Structure formats: C-alpha cells, structure tokens
Structure 1
C-alpha cells in the first residue's frame, strides 16, 4: 500500500540546491510527487511511495547534501494522488 506524506522541511534548505537534491533522491528511491520552496524559508514536499520507499527517502532527506542542513522534517498524511514522476514546482 502506498503512502502520501506531506513534508515540511526546515533548516538551511533554500538557495543550496535542496529541491534538486530532493528530486534526485526521489528518483533513486522510486518516489513520485513534487517539491517547492515556501515563502517562510522552508521547503514543502508531497511524496508518494511504499512505506519502505518513504522511509529511505525521508532518511536521505534528513542527511541532505554537502550544502544543506536539515533541522526538522514535519510529516502529515495527505490524500494519495497517483503522481507518475517527481517534479520541482515554482
């Protein structure tokens, strides 16, 4: 059964390539959905995949890349929308 968490990622996550990192990480874990910057400095992610895919995806997001520093990821469940890819929204 697939899950659809909405993730609110805070920390040093804007202006450091975090959206691209999230998109590449989603591809690595076969996760679909979207990512976008928010006006408050956080990044929002709607991700869809199996529980195993979500666990691996979120764990990778917490580690970030060399330029990011994730302080917190708040997770809430949202309706599953059957996305077929993972895109950056502007």
Structure 2
C-alpha cells in the first residue's frame, strides 16, 4: 500500500471538486482526504494499492466536468493507515 501527497493546481475551487474527489475515491477504494488550500490549489492525500492509485490519479485529472486541472504534483509519503476518505476543512 502506498500513500501519495497530491497538489492539484488549476481551476479546482468553487466547482465541487472536493466532493467529486471524495466520491471517486470511495468508488475506487482509495482512503485519505482532500482539502482546499488558501493558495487556490487542492491537496489530496491518497492511500491505496498501485492499481487503485493509478486509476484515481488519471480520473481526478480528467473526469470533473467543470474543473480544469493544469498540474498535479505527486510525491510518495509515509503515513499511518486511513479508514475512510474525507473532506478536511
């Protein structure tokens, strides 16, 4: 199991992006959280198996009808295990 810290840049706030990410994560079985940042970016901590994370990353970037993801900065991090995928405030 891996954990990624994903910084999503672009037009990703004010369009329901966090709720979309949460629904997608639960559908795929990814755990972690999503959070808006003051910079206008969105932070995602995503934990799962390789195949789940690959699918999740691809779909986060392309499937939201109104968001425009310009860049995703991804790095693997160490983390304790998550039980669910939540929206942090």
TM range (shorter): over 0.9
Deviation at 1:66, TM superposition (A): 1.0
Q: Is the 8 A contact 1:64 1:70 kept in 2?
A: no
Q: Map of 1:6-45 to 2, 5 A cutoff? A: 6-45=5-44
SS of structure 1 residue aligned to 2:19? helix
Query: Which runs of structure 2 are paired with 1:1-90 in the superposition (5 Å)?
Result: 2-90=1-89
Q: Structure 1: where are the runs of 5+ without partners? A: none
Q: Please list every run of at least 4 consecutive aligned residues from structure 1 whose deviation after the TM superposition is greater than 4 angstroms.
A: none
Q: Which runs of 5+ in 2 are unaligned?
A: none
d(CA) in 1 for partners of 2:88 and 2:66?
A: 20
Distance 2:16 2:50 in 1: 26
TM-score by length of 1: 0.96
- Normalising by the residue count of structure 2, what TM-score does the alignment of the two structures yield? 0.97
Cα RMSD (Å): 0.7
Task: Determine helix, strand or coil for the equivalent of 2:2.
Answer: coil
Secondary structure in 1 matching 2:33 = strand
Question: Would you say how many aligned residue pairs link Structure 1 and Structure 2?
Answer: 89
Structure 1 residue 80 displacement after superposition: 2.8
